[in-house]
Structure 1
Amino acid sequence: MAVDPFMGTRAQRCFIATIAIQAIVVLVMISITFRLVAEHVDFNQSNYKTLPCYLALFVLAEIFELLMAFDALRLRNVIQLAGILMFHLALVAFAAIQVHETKAALVRFQDCDGSFSFVNCGGPHTLFRKVEPFLIVVPCIIAAAWFVMVFFVRALYIEFGWAIFRVVGANPAMKSMYQVYQILICLLKFDFFSFTGVTMQLLIVVLSTNSAEFGLTVAAIPIVLLLLIGCGIAVQREIKWLMSLSLVLMLASETYLYKLVRFFQPSSEGQYETTRATLTVFTIVAFLLLLATFIVGVKCFTDFNKGLYNSKTFDTPLFRRHSSARTPGELKDDPLNEPSETRMSIDIE
């Protein structure tokens, strides 16, 4: 049974189109909200920084989700498709939280109709009432898109089932190890987004660029990126010393949870007031994702030297698919005895 080419089926094209269309609509709604608020407030004031955070995070999230979708389809990775569905649900929750945070930023006087302050009142004809419809429609659009995505993911699951079988054959132990490997690689990708999301918010919210907190936040960026890349290379190539180092650094990175204390300190009340909910959710999610990555990473480490590396699904450099040009000797040694163009790679993208 031949494997359909990348973007060669209706389900694949419709899945990508669903994500792309909802991303465009959502970003337009958020951009309109940002423009309407920017006309009346100064975003340099800490209590109004929830909108720049909101816009920046959704631009990052929509681009990330689209790239992850292309990546999952190209690799025929069902586990990553499931991860995208969970990520999309998280976007629904995040968009819903933003309605509350935007209201907290704009509405300072509850019992007024706007005659006293167009910006800081919450009554009719005020700034918040003007942008509220755009804020509410965002989670509705994302939720509607999720149901459509579920329909196409079901079709893709059926479509990709045969391709996954061809990678590791019918060996149950090999299949289990392969699935754990896929879960780890998927977690590393979502770790990247969650860390970038937290860092982006902190850099936007932090007032002084010469503060110690700002310097520590910037310094953490290359360290965590190297950690994630190193872990991916280690598990792909079964490099024990690098995997051990990555696991130790993951545990050390969990101390980043101390940021939660900063969000709720009385001295930081004004600085984090309107972004506290989003930052708290992102930080907790990043902590849980990293903890899950550590646990799955330990399981992958115990699977080293058990044959998965030698199954010829790992014989290509990072970010590249297998070449279809293989010698007769390589084809003869292939345990599946299948042409390489019908095989799929599980390398990091």
Structure 2
Amino acid sequence: MYRPTTRNEWLFCGTLVAQAIIIIALELFIISEWQMWVHPNIIQVMVSYVVPINLAIFVFTCVYELILAIDAVHHKNNLLLFAVCVSNACILAFSAMQSNSIKDIARRLPAARDAESQPLVDLDFDFWKRVDPAQIACPIIFGICTLIIWPCAYQLHKEYAWAIYRSIHGDMRIKTRFLTYEIYLVLIKLDFYFITCFVIQYDLIDVHFKEPEFGLTLALLPASLLMMILAVWFVRREWKIAMVLVVLCHAAIISYLISRIMVLYGNGLQANTADKDMMLLFAFVALVLMTCTLICAVVCVFNFDRGLKEVLDEKSYKRYTHFEALSGRTDRSYSPDQRLSLE
């Protein structure tokens, strides 16, 4: 696995490692308290799945952000660096929303009863009082880490800008094609995150094990992961026929997301579901990102065989980035005009 080499890289990735460890520990504490509070008959109500699924999404977010951060510093991808920063700011807002959601559930469940008039939770167990400090700590941790990684990302941007400038030899046409390529990589990696979050919520809460939709929807997760890996492979090697198939897959996912949004906005049983607002949020963001991804993929295909493949050659790319790491060159080595054009 790639290891950071500079101080800024260590600070950027190290902050996200610390964030992941602390948040996962807090979420595990919350879910353990949840299990102690609820009775087995809690599965009779749909809301019982909301809290565990939202906590799982937090854990997945922290781990996936860390993977993206390591990938960003490994491939010197400036756009992915800032995408991680923006994602961390968004998850800060989501953590504040989760606190209100859990508080509302903790208020309503003690009054709920099952078909035999039995309580769904331990009435002598003050769940919210026990998890409230952890709920307050989550957005604070996200906020502190967000404040740390933004300056680090800016410093890394300045370091990587020089390496990218050398790799494209100052050719503005190649720079534009390289930027399109980087945007596509960032978008497709963000697509996977939002599609995964939507599928987990929609499949487990709304579809709720109803076959065949449950199995088919769940199959989207490995299919999306495989598509992401193959798309990165194909676009780097400029395989046109393979990329056409990837574009068709993007279009298929867009169609699926539109159909699910229509279902959630419809009048059927699946439109009446818990956590509907969060499902729609993930679905809409995934739809917008996937549409941009499709457009970017088409542009990348038109840029094939126009000099970008040589720039992306793995050996030469590692050679110049290694040289920059050893020499310590940054954007301060530019002329004022070069610095302005890169930033």
Q: TM-score range by the shorter chain?
A: 0.7 to 0.9
2:247 aligns with: 247
> Does structure 1 residue 97 correspond to structure 2 residue 78?
no
Rounded Cα–Cα distance in structure 2 between residues aligned with 1:266 and 1:139: 36
Rounded Cα–Cα distance in structure 2 between residues aligned with 1:23 and 1:249: 32
Deviation at 1:302, TM superposition (A): 1.8
* Letter of the 1:27 counterpart: I
Alignment of 1:1-349 (within 5 A): 7-41=4-38, 42=40, 44=43, 45-108=45-108, 126-205=126-205, 209=209, 211-257=211-257, 258-263=259-264, 265=267, 267-268=269-270, 272-273=273-274, 275-311=275-311, 313-314=312-313, 316=314, 341-342=322-323
* Letter of the 2:235 counterpart: V
1:174, 1:308 within 8 Å by CA — same for their partners in 2?
Answer: yes
Deviation at 1:340, TM superposition (A): 8.0
**Secondary structure of 1:305 counterpart:** coil
Deviation at 1:341, TM superposition (A): 4.5
1:2-42 C-alpha deviation (Å, 9 max, x unpaired): xxx96232211111121111222212222221111111114
**Secondary structure of 2:170 counterpart:** coil
Give TM-score scaled by structure 1 length: 0.79
* Letter of the 1:298 counterpart: V
Rounded Cα–Cα distance in structure 1 between residues aligned with 2:320 and 2:156: 22
2:207, 2:213 within 8 Å by CA — same for their partners in 1?
Answer: no
Deviation at 1:65, TM superposition (A): 1.0
Deviation at 1:119, TM superposition (A): 5.2
**Secondary structure of 1:256 counterpart:** helix
Rounded Cα–Cα distance in structure 2 between residues aligned with 1:100 and 1:255: 33
- Classify 1:183/1:343 alpha carbon distance in 2 versus 1 (closer, same or farther; 3 Å): farther
Rounded Cα–Cα distance in structure 1 between residues aligned with 2:264 and 2:306: 45
* Letter of the 2:276 counterpart: R
The count of residues paired between Structure 1 and Structure 2 equals 314
1:232-251 C-alpha deviation (Å, 9 max, x unpaired): 23311112222222212212
1:126-155 C-alpha deviation (Å, 9 max, x unpaired): 423432332232122102210111111122
1:26-83 C-alpha deviation (Å, 9 max, x unpaired): 1222222111111111463421212211221122111111111111112221111011
1:106, 1:119 within 8 Å by CA — same for their partners in 2?
Answer: no
- Classify 1:27/1:340 alpha carbon distance in 2 versus 1 (closer, same or farther; 3 Å): closer
**Secondary structure of 2:307 counterpart:** coil
Rounded Cα–Cα distance in structure 2 between residues aligned with 1:150 and 1:176: 25
1:118, 1:126 within 8 Å by CA — same for their partners in 2?
Answer: no
- Classify 1:80/1:208 alpha carbon distance in 2 versus 1 (closer, same or farther; 3 Å): closer
- Classify 1:108/1:60 alpha carbon distance in 2 versus 1 (closer, same or farther; 3 Å): same
- Classify 1:266/1:24 alpha carbon distance in 2 versus 1 (closer, same or farther; 3 Å): same
Rounded Cα–Cα distance in structure 1 between residues aligned with 2:320 and 2:212: 56
* Letter of the 1:26 counterpart: I
1:107, 1:119 within 8 Å by CA — same for their partners in 2?
Answer: no
Uncovered stretches (5+) of structure 1, i.e. residues with no partner: 112-116, 325-337, 345-349
2:329 aligns with: none
Deviation at 1:343, TM superposition (A): 7.7
Uncovered stretches (5+) of structure 2, i.e. residues with no partner: 112-118, 326-343
2:37, 2:122 within 8 Å by CA — same for their partners in 1?
Answer: no
Deviation at 1:104, TM superposition (A): 3.8
Rounded Cα–Cα distance in structure 2 between residues aligned with 1:75 and 1:291: 25
Give TM-score scaled by structure 2 length: 0.80
* Letter of the 2:6 counterpart: T
2:116 aligns with: none
Deviation at 1:207, TM superposition (A): 6.7
2:24, 2:59 within 8 Å by CA — same for their partners in 1?
Answer: yes
**Secondary structure of 1:169 counterpart:** coil
2:167, 2:317 within 8 Å by CA — same for their partners in 1?
Answer: no
